[in-house]
Every structure is written in structure tokens, then in C-alpha cells.
Amino acid sequence: MATSSPEPGLILQNGRFFAPQDPIKVDQNAFQECMIIQNRLITHIGPSTGAVVTSARENGFQTLSLDNKIILPGFIDSHMHLLLLGLSLTKLDLSTCTDLPSIRSSITAYAAAHPHLPRILCRGWMHSMTDGKALASMIDDLDPRPIFIDAKDLHSTWCSTSALEEMRVAELPSQPGGFIERDEAGNPTGLIAEASVLTLVWPHLASVASEEDKLAALSTAIDEYSAAGYTGLVDMAMDQAAWDALLLLRSRQKLPVRIAAHWLITPSTPDDGLAQVRVAVALNELYSQQTSPNLRIAGIKIITDGVIDACTAALSKPYADPVTHCPPLWTAEMLGPVVAAADAAGLQVALHAIGDAAIHMSIDALATCTPGRRHRVEHLELASPEDARRLGQLGITASVQAVHADPAILRAWPRLLGEERTKRAFAYREFKDGGAVVALGTDAPTAPLGAWGNLYTAVTRRSTRAGGEELEPVNPEFALELADAVAAATQGAALACFAEGTCGSLKEGLSADFVVADVEWKGEGLIKGVVRETWFEGRKVFSVEE
């Protein structure tokens, strides 16, 4: 029987290799001098001298000097949406608009420049740009083609009349946890929000996108992630259309990234919710960590509330302005059986919870689950001190996205919440101090996918979007230390999806997934970080030309 010869080894030296051992109590200066890789694995991380290094040289290992660059484990985006990101890269970006006239002007120019597109797809709109209004009549005269405008947070879609007609929205009943804005006569007026976006808009746009469009979108998104230093992704809203496209893409090419996915469970009747869990269980049996480690179904995802800016996040007390109260999208009675079924099947449960009421309900639902499952709460934007402590006590992962703590996009919070509640926003330090594993993600495409901006805001609580405007940092007492933030984007993210035995650290025996970076090792310097090279399984998958 023929045996394959070992791959040539590689000695990486003259670099600073960040290799902390404990993801909870991170050594802020845990740097090593040298790393050796062979057969896609790290075989040495430590001093640049000694018997191991000498032996490697004698056995003909190639030596690569890294010019004193910083080498980090490959970043893992712990919360993102891959197909949505790929498709969004082809949409008109409205994020620089400030009001309705600038939105209208941008759409008009884009439509004129793209006469052959069947639809006008836009992204980046915020409710504050249009004083909270999203009427079809405000955009109907711009173009006869259907116009779909995604909110920046992806929790709402603003549609033209032709878009509403294409989806036959007028014929649809109200959906659990969903919202279709209607006039007094019951006719849809343009805004589709929360669960109705998940069950109506996303499936419709996926159905009208060709197979090749979806493959191209996924490939483009993965390339963007490789260029940004990522070697791992956790997709937090997987559905059948996206999963089928991913499987097809993998059949055509080797993916330079590991993908763990959480199957999206939409609000529904109790029986239908359990049926959706059974779909995820069956897929997990086919695509598990054991059978398909680089593309797998890890668990389920449930969105329990909305977002602060749209006043749809579930709060324990009403919003300050406007004075309104928004209950969770799922009740505790709806949530409990679905969470229990997924937990019993060995799946990880990820619960989107932004408002303090939704966070409390989510932690309660996870509190009775099997210990050690590493269930997660996503976002955690307005947690009470009690619930911040409970995360660590119950072994629940704090899955956070520092890009959402950018001061430039939180200007409305003091008005909506009041000053006192705003002081509780994004309490990352409390999560960590309470013993929770913190996993850092971006929520792309609701926010930029770049790791440096995400880390910068996590550490400084300052803005990457203010365009030079000096803004006060948001609750700097909750900032993470630099090494803690980097660990959250690597080790913590790997731990959160049971991948720490494969990746997430520069450690002997793990996959050689790493980033060669030009970056100052201090908070303020992160914003200028540059990824020079990205390596996945011992192979360079991205390089900046000098």
C-alpha cells in the first residue's frame, strides 16, 4: 500500500506570535518567537532555538522571515450572514445618505446607471434618515421596477409598491413575530419588519436570484473574508437556499475557511417550531463536526426581539421617546419547547436578544439546558447587571459585535432609552469579568466585516464611522483589554462553536490558520492594522502585494 510523503515543513521566525494559553484570563503579552508548521498543522510554537528548531533545519524545513510582523490566529467571525453579505455587495449602499432627498437622489442615479437590472436593491438605510417613515409612496416615482431597501440592521425592508405587488404582500395574513405596515383599509404601505423579513423578503429575493448569482455572491463574500484575515465563520441565519448553494460551491472548489452554521427557526406555531428543529437535527447528523468539520450545522438560531433604533427590541420598561412598549417576538411559552428540543438533540442554541427583557427571557430559557452545551446569546446590547453575571454562571457564551457599539450609530439611543439605560449599553467587560466566554463577531452585512475596526471599537469604544468627528466613547468602562478582544475574535470564537481542538489558537497540534499583520499592539493603533497574509491549513490563501 502506497503512503504519501509528508509535506515540506516551514519554520516561521522573526515575528511576534500571539499565543495566550487561557482564553478567559488572557496574558496581555503572550508572544512567542517562532512557529513551525508541517502537514497543515502547527508542530512548534515557542523559542526560535532549541532541539525542535534545530531538527527542523536539519530535515530541510524552509525558513521564512516575517520582518517582526505580528502573527495572530486566523480571525473567526462569530456572528455573520454569508449569502446576505455576498448579495449585499451588489446592492446600492445608502449608508452615507442623511435624509430622504439624498436617498432619492442616490436611487435615481443608480437606476439610471443600471437600466437592465430587474430590481433596484439597496442597503444601509436607517430609520432615523427618514424620521422613522418608510412608505412606498416616498419612492414609487423613482423607477417602475421593484425597489427593496434593506435597513442597516436587516430587521426591516422598505419596499416600493411594485416590490410589494411582486411579493403579493396584500394577500398575506399577519405572521407570528412579523410586521407588515398597513393603512386603515389594510393595504400594505411599504414597511416589512422583523419575522416577516425572514419569512417573506429573504426567501423571495433568494428565489429570484439565479443559482450562479448565489454562487458568485458566496465566493465573493469568502474572498472578502480571506482578505480581511478570517479563517473561520459562524453563519447565524442559515436556510435551505443558502445551504444548498454552499454545498454546491464546496463541490466545485476547496473553501479557504471553516463554516459552522446555525439553522434559522422562525416564529411559528409550537408544532411548526419543533418541525423546524427536526430539520436542523437531520442536517446536523449529515454535516456534523465529525463528518464535515469545515462545513457543518452546529445548531439553531432564534431571533427573540428586534433592535433599539426601530423601537422593536424588547425592554423591561417602555421606550422613553416615543413612549412605546414592544414585547419579544417569542414568548417564553413558545421559546421553551423549541430550545429544549434542540438541546436534547445535542444542538447549540443561539438566541438573538438585544433588549433587557429579551436577554432575561433568553437566559431563563437556557438556564435549564444541559450543562456544557455552550449555548449562546447574541448581541446582548442592553443587559442588566444580574444577567451579565448569569452568563458566566450558566456557561452561556456572550456573542457580541463591537461594531454595533460605534458612537456614530448610537446617537438616537439617549433619546429612545434615556441617559440612565444608555449607560448599560454593551457591557462587555461585565460579561468577561463574570466568567463568560466572549466571542467577537461583526454581524456582517449589517456592519463592516473588517476585524481591525471591530477590535478598535471593542478596546477603545470609539467610532470608526464618524468621518473625523470627535465623538465621546460609549461606556468606556465596559471596554475590553486589547489581548482580551483579540482572544475573543480567535480563541473565544472557536470555543463558542466547539472548534478549539482544531483552530482559534497558535498551539501545537492545531491547524496552521493564522494572519500576518502590520499593526501596533495598542488600542489606538488597531484602526491602522493591515492584513499582509492569511494562511488556512498551512497554505497561504491571501497576500498583499508589496
| Residues 6 or more apart in contact with residue 375 via CB below 8 angstroms | 343, 348, 349, 350, 351, 366, 369, 395, 396, 397
Question: Residues 105, 110, 116, 120: what is their CA dihedral angle, to the nearest 10 degrees?
Answer: -80
Distance CA 232, CA 243 (A): 16
Domain-embedded: residue 170: yes
Same domain, 389 and 445: yes
Reported pTM: 0.91
Which residues sit opposite 301 in a β-bridge? 264, 350
Digit-coded pLDDT (tens) for 36-84: 999 999 999 999 999 999 999 999 999 999 999 999 999 999 999 999 9
Residue with the three cell numbers 508542530: 43
Please tell me what DSSP assigns to residue 481: P
Q: What is the pLDDT of residue 27?
A: 77
Residue with the three cell numbers 439553531: 300
Q: Which amino acid is at 149?
A: I
From 208, 226, 255, the end of a domain falls on: 208
Please tell me what DSSP assigns to residue 427: -
| Residues 6 or more apart in contact with residue 251 via CB below 8 angstroms | none
Digit-coded pLDDT (tens) for 374-395: 999 999 999 999 999 999 999 9
Beta strand 295-303 pairing with 348-353: parallel
Helix (H, G, I), strand (E, B) or coil at 270: helix
Domains contained in the chain, number: 3
Question: Residues 41, 46, 50, 54: what is their CA dihedral angle, to the nearest 10 degrees?
Answer: 30
Domain-embedded: residue 110: yes
Question: Residues 393, 397, 401, 407: what is their CA dihedral angle, to the nearest 10 degrees?
Answer: 0
Task: Locate all alpha helices (DSSP H) within 368-509, ordered by sequence.
Answer: 385-393, 413-417, 419-422, 428-433, 451-460, 482-488, 491-496
Domain-embedded: residue 249: no
Same domain, 309 and 167: no
Domain-embedded: residue 224: no
Same domain, 305 and 451: yes
Same domain, 184 and 101: yes
Q: Is the pLDDT of residue 207 over 70?
A: yes
Same domain, 170 and 131: yes
Q: What is the pLDDT of residue 323?
A: 81
Domain-embedded: residue 89: yes
Domain of 4, in residue numbers: 1-68+504-545
Q: Which string of DSSP letters, residue by residue, matches 159-199?
A: E-HHHHHHTTGGGPPP-TTEEEEE-TTS-EEEEEEEHHIII
Distance CA 376, CA 396 (A): 5
Query: Are the C-beta atoms of 121 and 90 separated by less than 8 Å?
Result: yes
Same domain, 94 and 60: no
Domain-embedded: residue 290: no
Distance CA 388, CA 57 (A): 50
| Residues 6 or more apart in contact with residue 291 via CB below 8 angstroms | none
From 208, 230, 258, the end of a domain falls on: 208
Same domain, 398 and 433: yes
Q: Is the pLDDT of residue 541 over 90?
A: yes
Same domain, 198 and 342: no
Q: Minimal CA–CA distance to 501: which of 286, 233, 262, 289?
A: 289
Tell me the CB-side half-sphere exposure of residue 414, using CA atoms within 13 A.
7
Q: Which string of DSSP letters, residue by residue, matches 213-246?
A: HHHHHHHHHHHHHHHTTEEEEEEEEE-HHHHHHH
Q: How many CB atoms lie within 10 A of CB 511?
A: 27
Digit-coded pLDDT (tens) for 476-529: 999 999 999 999 999 999 999 999 999 999 999 999 999 999 999 999 999 999
What is the average per-residue pLDDT within 185-200?
A: 90
Q: Is the pLDDT of residue 154 over 90?
A: no
- Percent pLDDT > 70 in the chain is 99
Q: Quick one: cell of 156?
A: 426591516
Same domain, 94 and 23: no
Same domain, 151 and 87: yes
Same domain, 197 and 338: no
In terms of Cβ atoms closer than 10 Å to its own Cβ (0-12, 13-18, 19+), residue 486 is: buried
Tell me the pLDDT of the chain averaged across its residues: 94
What is the average per-residue pLDDT within 99-124?
A: 96
From 447, 480, 513, the end of a domain falls on: 480
The more confident residue out of 28 and 360 is 360
- Phi, psi of 41, deg, nearest 5: -115, 155
Distance CA 61, CA 53 (A): 9
Same domain, 104 and 186: yes
> Radius of gyration (Cα) for the chain, nearest Å?
23
Domain-embedded: residue 151: yes
Digit-coded pLDDT (tens) for 223-243: 999 999 999 999 999 999 999
Q: Minimal CA–CA distance to 19: which of 514, 538, 401?
A: 514
CATH of the domain at 173: 3.10.310.70
Q: How confident is the model at residue 270 (pLDDT cuts 50, 70, 90)?
A: confident
Instruction: List C-alpha distances in Å: 215 to 51, 421, 489.
Output: 48, 43, 27
CATH of the domain at 339: 3.20.20.140
Please tell me what DSSP assigns to residue 369: S
Distance CA 424, CA 478 (A): 9
CATH of the domain at 24: 2.30.40.10
Domain-embedded: residue 381: yes
Q: How confident is the model at residue 2 (pLDDT cuts 50, 70, 90)?
A: very low
